[in-house]
Amino acid sequence: MHANLDECPETGTVAQIDSNGCSSNQLDADGDGVNNDDDPFPNDSTQTADADDDGFGDNPDGGEPADQCPGTDQNESGDVDDYGCGYSQQDLDEDGIGNGIDLCPYSPSTDVGEFGCTSSQRDPDSDLIELSADLCPGTAPEMEVDADGCSDAQRDSDEDGLVDAEDDCPTGAQRWTRDSSTDHDDDGCRDSDEDSDDDNDGLMDMLDTCPKGASSGSDIDVDGCKDEGEDFDDDGDGIADTQDGCPTLSGTSNKDRHGCPDSDGDGYSDPDDNWGIEQGADYDSLNAEVFADSGPLGVNLDLLALILTAVAAIGGVIFASRAKSSKKRRMTTMMTAMSLIHDALELTDYFESTVELAAVEEKITSPMMDVLKKQYRRRMRALEDGVITPAEQAVLSSEMTDIKKALADGSISKEELANLLEDDTELDW
């Protein structure tokens, strides 16, 4: 038995071969001298090439299919007619002008110009600019046009798709693709090299934390980010809005509430319409030595003034309303109340002048404050019960005048005041 003759003695040792010892790239089925792997038409010896990859052989004299348009554009090679021609190479209206340059591809006239249009089609808007050169073929009649066939309202000098009348950079970069990614604010200026304020919010990109954000809306801290939806620290004080006691006011307070104005820098916020010293605001917002909101003994001074005033007014009225009380006793009581008011004013002056706390405490002692608080609660209950009447208020007004005179001439001493305050029975109003 004889071995088969190797028709491809140079085949590599690892190549897959046929019964004749040849690999696929060594075979030439049609015998045209081009191996099957390199032959676009391995079974047609008359066609060995297809330069435009449209499935039609380049040899016009070869067998079918012969390519009548061997230079078909690669973008059209997948959609050719029976002759291997793409759309631009075809002539749909058979006027002798290929679709690729035919400006009137559906006018089957034989009397056409070099661009496939009849005389009436060459200038459809009658602006004396032929269609082949007219960049604005739809110009309204009687409109004055330039050499490109465009009126002022139609002109787009940089050909970016935005007419000059609406373009902030009408003679800028030419023929660029304009969309939301390249022209964020749609002003006709290319963001990358022509527009210094991409979102048109009035803040230059170099200073804008949100350079491609919204173009309008509230921006309290002027950082370029709109408060609604873009900025999570509207006042720019470093405190997130969700944790900021004053999200629209920049501040440094960090004790009673965070992120609010703190004029004296002591950590307690300045009082405002929604947050007073009762809630923890700074009693003296211009003096860092006066901390928080409390006066001597931790008592709020505004509340102290209210207590003292109520003691004088309510106590005096109730006392005057009692028919069995003597005038002298009423006078003594009212003078006591007025002295309390006088001392309260002195105390406030001391406090606002930042006198040492120990010196302030000498003006009103802890036992005296206990008496005032107890009697203040009694007066408030009496007021709620409707004890005070307009007539009693008139009596109080008259007696107050007498009390002022008594204070002026020293009719009551501080020793008497102290004795009255310490004797709760004597002051049983």
Say how far apart CA 315 and CA 429 lie, in whole Å.
6
pLDDT band at 34 (very low <50, low <70, confident <90, very high): confident
- pLDDT in the model for residue 296: 42
Q: Is 145 exposed, middle or buried (0-12, 13-18, 19+ CB in 10 A)?
A: buried
Say how far apart CA 137 and CA 117 lie, in whole Å.
14
* Bond prior to 261 in cis (omega within 30° of 0): no
C-alpha closest to that of 292 among 283, 300, 301: 283
In this predicted structure, the answer to whether residue 345 has a pLDDT above a threshold of 70 is no
pLDDT band at 146 (very low <50, low <70, confident <90, very high): confident
Say how far apart CA 118 and CA 111 lie, in whole Å.
6
In this predicted structure, the answer to whether residue 366 has a pLDDT above a threshold of 70 is no
- pLDDT in the model for residue 54: 65
CA atoms within 13 A on the CB side of 216: 0
Say how far apart CA 106 and CA 98 lie, in whole Å.
11
**Interaxial angle between packed helices 327-352 and 414-422, expressed in degrees from 0 to 180 and rounded to the nearest 10:** 100
Q: Assign 395 to helix, strand or coil.
A: helix
Percentage of residues in the chain having pLDDT higher than 90: 12
For the segment 290-329, what is each residue's pLDDT rounded down to a tens digit? 444 444 444 444 545 555 555 555 455 444 444 444 545 5
* Bond prior to 141 in cis (omega within 30° of 0): no
Phi, psi of 66, deg, nearest 5: -95, 140
User: In the structure encoding, which two tokens stand for residue 210, read together?
Assistant: 């949100």
User: Which of the two residues, 245 and 134, has the higher pLDDT score?
Assistant: 245
Say how far apart CA 376 and CA 229 lie, in whole Å.
51
